[in-house]
Amino acid sequence: MEKATSAKLRVLSFIAMIMIIYLHSYNLAVKFNGVDVPIAKNYNSFVQVFISDGITRIAVPLFAAISGFLFFYNFKPSTQAFLNKYKKRFNSLFIPYILWSAWGLLFFFILQILPQSRKFFNSTLIKDYSLNKLLEVLFWDPLPYQLWFVRDLLILVLLSPIIYLILRYLKIVGLLLFFVIWLFDFSLLMLKPDTIFFFSFGAYLSFHAQAFLQSRYPGLAKVALVLYIVLLMVKTWFFQINYTPNFAPFLLKGVIVCGAFAAWYLYDFVTENRDISNSTFYQYSGFSFFLYAFHEPVLTLFKKGTLAVIGKSQVAMFAAYLVLPLIVITLALITGAILKKYMSGFYSLLTGGR
């Protein structure tokens, strides 16, 4: 893969990761002692919904599409080739998944036995888990809830021969089948429709990698960006006036399509004639996976703890929403850098060799 393409995928993944953290920074539905904080429709709700239920919603599709593209890029199908892919993904996905899931269990267990933090937990305590429940949480329903995406990727990797056959022999018809699954939110093998379609979409693009990577649509990308913002404004305004039209799910789909298209092609416009690999931002982007795995449950703990201390006024919630992600990102980057420098082997296990 060309250096420029590799850098593009890495930087876009890092931007998507920052989006994920702001998606999870949403605090309008935070519970205290089992009670939801009331949502007042004002500047705070508008900004949080516009960003966390709008701008950031392209992050997971981007991750899934990039994962599908990289899995099948220059792929020559054979039984051995798929087995080699399974082995690599075991190291890069399954091992980090289990390690971070176990870390979540330990982290929550410690917090639940401390009097100062016990009040923030309303569900069953880990010390009261049965063995079956413990195994379920460790392997299937991890407490760091963002790991659902890695779980879905692991399933998609196992299903990759089937996905390959569908896309290779049904071609665009096969892709349309996956698109319909996403468009109408059909559940399939407990996988989220977003990951099914966009992983398959990335795989389909990898079959036509040369034409895809050489394509440039700056004009269409600018139009897509305008549509992205307009659709986001409309969607957020509907939320503000407590109106949910029948086409609301399709409105969100339009936001995702326009936003992802704009992000992919405007990147080339922004970085034209620049070697992005020399930038500080590019160096930070190497910590994308660590940032993904580390930020929860740390961010949730910070949210609940901060609002418990400074109060739950609209100003406090708005300030927490904007500032806490920056603190968590900084903490994650510092922690990741220290581990990478002084415990490189362990860091490699945690990040799947990334």
User: What is the block-wise mean pLDDT of the chain (354 residues), using blocks of 10 residues?
Assistant: 88 96 87 58 94 96 96 93 95 97 92 75 80 94 95 96 95 96 87 95 95 89 96 95 91 96 92 82 93 94 89 91 97 97 96 91
pLDDT at res. 279 = 84
pLDDT at res. 122 = 67
Listed residue (57, 109, 83) closest to 256, CA to CA: 57
How distant is the alpha carbon of residue 329 from its chain centre? 15
Q: What is the phi/psi pair of residue 22, to 5°? A: -70, -30
Q: Cα(1)–Cα(106) distance, rounded to whole angstroms? A: 39
C-beta separation of 19 from 58 below 8 A: yes
CA atoms 9, 15, 21, 23: torsion sign: negative
C-beta separation of 49 from 236 below 8 A: yes
Q: Which residues of 233-250 are buried (b: 16+ CB within 10 A; e: fewer)?
A: eebbeebeeeeeeeeeee
**Token couple for 36:** 């939801």
pLDDT at res. 34 = 53
Q: What is the largest CA-CA distance in the chain?
A: 59
pLDDT at res. 189 = 76
**Token couple for 89:** 């993904």
DSSP 248: H
pLDDT at res. 48 = 96
pLDDT at res. 14 = 95
Cis peptide before 115 (omega within 30 of 0): no
